[in-house]
């Protein structure tokens, strides 16, 4: 059996690890290509930071959805409700701790935001677990029913938000020290956007570490590819499903907090409004791919910002154009997930 | 063969082999339930006689809305119930129909030619868009179709509100109807059965008969060989593909037919309201209403569209009054009045919707038919 | 008579509208290699999947080590000590070879002696240790699939057509690997279409047809009796590789 290693076919058939760089290169290429059109480098930096911030928020909202799809083959059209719910959950913290928001202290303000995020993730995580149990579990395996039932969940949950917090929009002011902008020379960067980029990057790095370095991450990746074999290796994939669904809902809640403070107004429909972008992003990225979702989010947000600056009326159509171009280039998205 | 079995899993009614006039009109797809036949007949008769049965403008407006939504929901059922694909762009086609007629009548003057031109242009645009979306997304996975239709529809809604020079933006467009449809027009000099037959009533009957005709046409389509192939694809895509049916082509054609019928419904809506705007035809909340109507009425039954649309529009118009009363009655208790506040009626329909998807996939129609034939 | 580790009694399995297993009875004695032969569609893969709980038996009884596992969920069957190598191999292509093995070892890191033994059986895996398993050749994927099944001591290995689609040189290495596993005392139920491989490895043999066991006995008896071979296996098996 020593001939195993010397097996000629093995050597011939060994491609090196191929990282698919092309989709990754699009983002910087796009940013650079936009520079001459925008003209002023300072406005370009402002636009790019704004685009990155927007992209990170979309990523936060979309990552959970794409992961749930990848692992469970479940498409949750009610995902938007977790975004709204997360944003509304900040009221639980902002109400009693209103003083912290007005304080001129960075630490107090950040602590307040962290509490908001924790509250939002807790609320959306719990509601996510209930949603999975009541709405989603009975319809595993049927996409049609999933779409319908999760839309139904969305209707009911939006109405429940109305019943609890009232139907009129609620203003939420940004904490004191996160208002305004950093000014470096003639470059203006809004503080909250920089904060959003930081949060988004931190979550992305944490997700990558979990997916690549921990056993549960390996299980999720393996489960995306072949859930049955994961079971045959002795792991209970149902528990994995539920925890990923809960984590995905909590991430949407986190995205909702960031999105809510960005808009500074809460409405029950805010989640569904942004879902359009979320869907475009996960289609572009490749359903089920976290990396693709990240690249897709930034791509869509940057394009929207540049186009919004150059030709404001085209801004929302630009997303559709980006999506159509990507699908023509790669019908399964930028990073197609191998399976099914 | 699976394609010939009814969507609810019940066998086709074969007790009446002779093909009467009713069979022909209904394309041999009879209600197959006494209660259902009775309800359908009642709806048909009441809708046909509304202008003479009730006075005031609300009943006739409600009836007109029911007619329009029957077409809209039936055409959506062709996609959802018969083809098994979920589109969120149905209101987009509804809106295109509305805007086609509205823009033409506003720009080209209040003539029948404008109506014709507007409708033709709208039908053309809808067909092109439906083909484009179908080819872009039905090729890959059905789930892409749902998401892409959502994205495209929202982009079109934004576009419609931004191109205010053409569409009137958020305000929409008000316009004059051709002379014969105006309230001032009199068909008969004397009142008929106590009602003055004016242009408004003519407009209602235009709506009624176009809606009836379109509905019967859709019924014919789903019962044609084409409709059976669609159902075969819905049941087992791979098998249909293996049998040599071009799945993408069939699905695309289905989505085009469905889009065209929705466009007609949109044109009717605009004609009735003498107005078209984002809130009356394009908004996403109408899309949700359509979903509720088709699922509660019964997916894949066509008659479900009639039941669903009627029930929903009536609930929209009258249920809130009922809930108002209930809410006031419970005003002492903390959360309860909030839950049956008249604005929360969607909460309960949403819950009913979820229960329908789980427990009665055939909706009300499926339920009624099952009640009749005791063997499952 | 050795004590059977695995025993099937009158097991029937339906998949959707199709009736696949029509009452399967057999026993796998501990410490032996049992071959499961039969033509395509005879129900061999369904038998393995039913044992593993991936299809639910509609009637009958499956006992593993005296315990009824007919209605047990797949993960618990795996935890009881059964490892499964499906025909498709089901390698996680996105994960590296190492990560595939890490997942297969449920109770923690593989101890170095076992790792050495495993990589001694399949030296090729060592070279691609940190590469995505998707880059492996078909034969190497098969090795990884088997390595995954033996990453920790298991009481029974179910292996579905490990030589399928492999080049003759790879088939021979695979046979050597299974001989080594036998020598290490593993209990194995092996589905095969390749009679050459089967005859080289089997202690006992089961022949399936149309969802039933139609023959069971010692492999040596079947090898020695060409008439029996002809009757049971006809031309459906590759007589010699």
Above 70 in pLDDT, residue A62?
yes
Q: What is the token pair recorded at C168?
A: 């003759």
The residues, ordered by sequence, that sit 6+ positions from A238 with a Cβ below 8 Å of its Cβ are none
Lowest mean pLDDT among A12-21, A305-314, B166-175, C121-130: A12-21
Q: What is the pLDDT of residues C73-90, one digit of tens each?
A: 999 999 999 999 999 899
Distance CA B238, CA B240 (A): 5
Contact at CB, B350 and A152, closer than 8 angstroms: yes
First to last CA, chain A: 35
Contact at CB, B148 and A167, closer than 8 angstroms: no
**Going edge to edge, which strands form the sheet with C156-160?**
C82-85, C156-160, C188-191, C33-38, C204-209, C212-218
Above 90 in pLDDT, residue A88?
yes
| Structure-model confidence comparison of residues A76 and B266, the more confident one | B266
Any idea what the CATH number is for the domain that residue B75 is in?
A: 1.10.3470
For residue B372, the model assigns a pLDDT of 53
How does strand A181-184 pair with strand B173-174?
A: unpaired
Neighbours of chain B (3+ CB pairs under 8 A): A
Total domain count, chain B: 1
Q: Which domain holds residue B128?
A: 34-372
Residue of C103, C134, C140 with shortest CB distance to A219: C103
For residue C64, the model assigns a pLDDT of 94
For residue A120, the model assigns a pLDDT of 95
Residue of A276, A287, A328 with shortest CB distance to B151: A276
Residue of C74, C127, C177 with shortest CB distance to A5: C127
Above 90 in pLDDT, residue B147?
no
Query: What would the DSSP string read from start to end of A4-73?
Result: HHH-HHHHHT-PPP---HHHHHHHHHHHHHHHHHH--HHHHHHHHHHHHHHHHHHHHHHHHHHHHHHHH-
Q: How far is A154 from chain C (nearest CA, A)?
A: 33
Chain B CB within 8 Å of residue A141 CB: no
Mean pLDDT of B320-339: 70
Above 60 in pLDDT, residue B1?
no
The residues with which C189 forms a beta bridge, in sequence order, are C34, C158
Residue B354 in any domain: the answer is yes
Residue of C52, C94, C135 with shortest CB distance to A232: C52
Above 80 in pLDDT, residue C235?
no
For residue B32, the model assigns a pLDDT of 80
Please report which helix (H) or strand (E) contains residue C212, including its range.
strand C212-218
Quickly state the pLDDT bin for B10 (edges 50, 70, 90).
Answer: very low
Distance CA C108, CA C110 (A): 6
For residue A316, the model assigns a pLDDT of 67
Quickly state the pLDDT bin for B9 (edges 50, 70, 90).
Answer: very low
Q: What is the pLDDT of residues A4-22, one digit of tens each?
A: 333 333 333 344 445 677 7
* Mean pLDDT, chain B, integer: 85
Q: What is the token pair recorded at B118?
A: 């507007």
**Domains in chain A, start-ordered, CATH in brackets?**
21-329 (1.10.3470)
Note the residue count of chain B. Answer: 376
| Structure-model confidence comparison of residues A76 and B195, the more confident one | A76
Q: What is the pLDDT of residues A39-53, one digit of tens each?
A: 888 888 989 999 999
Q: Rounded to whole angstroms, what are the CA distances from B98 to B74, B263, B316? A: 18, 7, 21
Q: How far is A70 from chain B (nearest CA, A)?
A: 13
Fold of C1-81+158-241: Rossmann fold (3.40.50)
How does strand A187-190 pair with strand C4-15?
A: unpaired
Q: What is the pLDDT of residues B19-36, one digit of tens each?
A: 677 888 887 777 888 888
Question: What ipTM score was computed for the predicted complex, to two decimals?
Answer: 0.90
For residue A104, the model assigns a pLDDT of 79
* Mean pLDDT, chain A, integer: 85
Domains of chain C, by residue range, sit at 1-81+158-241, 89-154
The residues, ordered by sequence, that sit 6+ positions from A332 with a Cβ below 8 Å of its Cβ are A286, A287, B140
Q: What is the pLDDT of residues B272-328, one digit of tens each?
A: 999 998 888 888 889 989 998 999 899 988 999 999 999 999 888 777 777 777 777
pTM of the model: 0.82
CB atoms within 10 A of CB C156: 22
Above 70 in pLDDT, residue B61?
yes
Contact at CB, A218 and C95, closer than 8 angstroms: yes
Residue B103 in any domain: the answer is yes
């Amino acid at each position: 059996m020593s001939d195993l290693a010397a097996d000629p076919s093995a050597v011939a058939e060994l491609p090196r690890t191929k990282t698919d760089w092309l989709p990754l290169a699009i983002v910087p290429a796009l940013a650079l290509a936009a520079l001459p059109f925008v003209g002023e480098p300072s406005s370009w930096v402002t636009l790019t930071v704004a685009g990155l911030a927007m992209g990170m928020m979309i990523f936060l909202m979309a990552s959970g959805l794409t992961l749930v799809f990848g692992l469970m083959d479940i498409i949750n059209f009610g995902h938007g409700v977790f975004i709204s719910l997360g944003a509304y959950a900040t009221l639980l913290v902002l109400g009693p701790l209103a003083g912290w928001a007005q304080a001129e202290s960075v630490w107090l303000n950040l602590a307040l935001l962290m509490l908001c995020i924790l509250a939002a993730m807790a609320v959306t995580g719990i509601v996510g677990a209930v949603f999975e149990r009541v709405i989603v579990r009975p319809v595993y395996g049927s996409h049609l029913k999933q779409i319908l039932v999760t839309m139904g969940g969305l209707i009911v949950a939006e109405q429940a938000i109305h019943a609890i917090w009232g139907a009129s929009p609620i203003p939420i002011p940004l904490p004191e020290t996160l208002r305004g902008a950093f000014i470096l020379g003639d470059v203006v960067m809004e503080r909250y956007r920089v904060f959003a980029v930081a949060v988004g990057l931190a979550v992305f790095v944490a997700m990558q570490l979990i997916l690549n370095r921990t056993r549960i991450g390996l299980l999720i990746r393996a489960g995306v590819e072949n859930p049955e074999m994961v079971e045959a290796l002795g792991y209970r994939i149902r528990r994995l499903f539920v925890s990923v669904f809960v984590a995905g809902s909590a991430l949407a809640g986190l995205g909702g907090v960031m999105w809510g403070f960005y808009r500074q107004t809460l409405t029950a429909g805010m989640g569904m409004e942004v879902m359009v972008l979320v869907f475009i992003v996960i289609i572009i990225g490749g359903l089920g791919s976290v990396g693709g979702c990240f690249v897709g989010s930034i791509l869509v947000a940057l394009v929207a910002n540049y186009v919004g600056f150059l030709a404001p009326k085209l801004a929302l159509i630009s997303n559709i154009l980006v999506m159509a171009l990507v699908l023509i280039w790669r019908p399964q998205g930028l990073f197609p997930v191998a399976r099914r | 063969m699976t394609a010939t079995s009814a969507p609810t899993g019940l066998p086709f009614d074969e007790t009446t082999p002779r093909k009467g006039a009713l069979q022909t009109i209904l394309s041999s797809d009879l209600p197959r339930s006494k209660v259902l036949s009775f309800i359908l007949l009642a709806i048909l008769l009441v809708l046909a006689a509304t202008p003479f049965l009730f006075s005031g403008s609300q009943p006739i407006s409600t009836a007109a809305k029911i007619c329009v939504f029957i077409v809209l929901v039936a055409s959506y059922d062709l996609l959802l119930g018969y083809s098994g694909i979920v589109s969120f762009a149905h209101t987009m086609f509804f809106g295109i129909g509305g805007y086609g007629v509205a823009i033409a009548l506003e720009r080209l003057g209040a003539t029948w030619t404008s109506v014709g031109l507007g409708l033709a242009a709208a039908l053309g645009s809808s067909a092109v868009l439906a083909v484009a979306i179908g080819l872009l997304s039905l090729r890959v996975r059905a789930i892409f179709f749902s998401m892409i239709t959502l994205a495209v529809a929202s982009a079109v809604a934004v576009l419609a509100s931004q191109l205010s020079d053409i569409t009137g933006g958020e305000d929409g467009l008000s316009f004059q109807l051709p002379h014969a449809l105006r309230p001032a027009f009199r068909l008969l000099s004397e009142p008929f059965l106590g009602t003055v037959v004016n242009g408004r009533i003519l407009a209602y009957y235009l709506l009624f008969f176009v809606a009836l005709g379109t509905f019967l046409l859709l019924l014919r389509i789903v019962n044609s060989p084409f409709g059976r192939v669609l159902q075969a694809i819905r049941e087992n895509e791979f098998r249909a593909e293996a049998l040599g049916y071009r799945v993408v082509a069939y699905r695309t054609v289905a989505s085009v037919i469905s889009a065209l019928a929705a466009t007609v419904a949109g044109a009717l809506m605009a004609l009735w309201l003498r107005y078209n705007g984002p809130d009356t035809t394009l908004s996403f909340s109408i899309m949700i209403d359509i979903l509720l109507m088709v699922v509660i009425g019964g997916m894949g039954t066509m008659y479900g569209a009639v039941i669903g649309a009627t029930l929903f529009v009536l609930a929209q118009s009258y249920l809130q009054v009922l809930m108002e009363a209930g809410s006031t009655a419970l005003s002492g208790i903390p959360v309860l009045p909030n839950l049956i506040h008249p604005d929360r009626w969607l909460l309960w329909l949403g819950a009913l919707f979820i229960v329908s998807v789980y427990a009665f996939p055939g909706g009300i129609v499926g339920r009624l038919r099952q009640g009749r034939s005791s063997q499952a | 008579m050795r004590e059977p580790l695995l025993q099937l009694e009158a097991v029937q399995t339906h998949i959707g509208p199709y009736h696949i297993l029509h009452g399967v009875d057999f026993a796998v004695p501990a410490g032996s290699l049992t071959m499961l032969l039969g033509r395509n569609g005879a129900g061999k893969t369904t038998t393995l999947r039913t044992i593993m709980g991936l299809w639910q038996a509609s009637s009958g009884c499956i006992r593993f080590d005296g315990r009824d596992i007919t209605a047990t969920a797949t993960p618990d069957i795996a935890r009881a000590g059964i490892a499964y190598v499906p025909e498709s191999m089901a390698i996680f292509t996105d994960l590296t070879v190492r990560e595939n093995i890490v997942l297969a070892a449920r109770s923690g890191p593989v101890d170095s002696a076992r790792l050495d033994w495993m990589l001694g059986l399949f030296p090729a895996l060592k070279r691609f240790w940190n590469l995505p398993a998707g880059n492996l050749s078909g034969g190497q994927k098969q090795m990884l699939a088997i390595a995954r099944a033996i990453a920790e001591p298991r009481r029974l290995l179910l292996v579905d057509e490990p030589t399928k689609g492999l080049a003759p040189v790879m088939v021979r290495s695979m046979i050597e690997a299974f001989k080594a596993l036998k020598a290490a005392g593993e209990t194995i139920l092996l589905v095969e279409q390749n009679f050459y491989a089967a005859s080289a490895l089997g202690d006992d043999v089961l022949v399936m047809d149309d969802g039933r066991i139609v023959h069971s006995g010692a492999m040596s008896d079947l090898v020695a009796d060409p008439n029996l071979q002809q009757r049971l296996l006809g031309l459906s098996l590759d007589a010699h590789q």
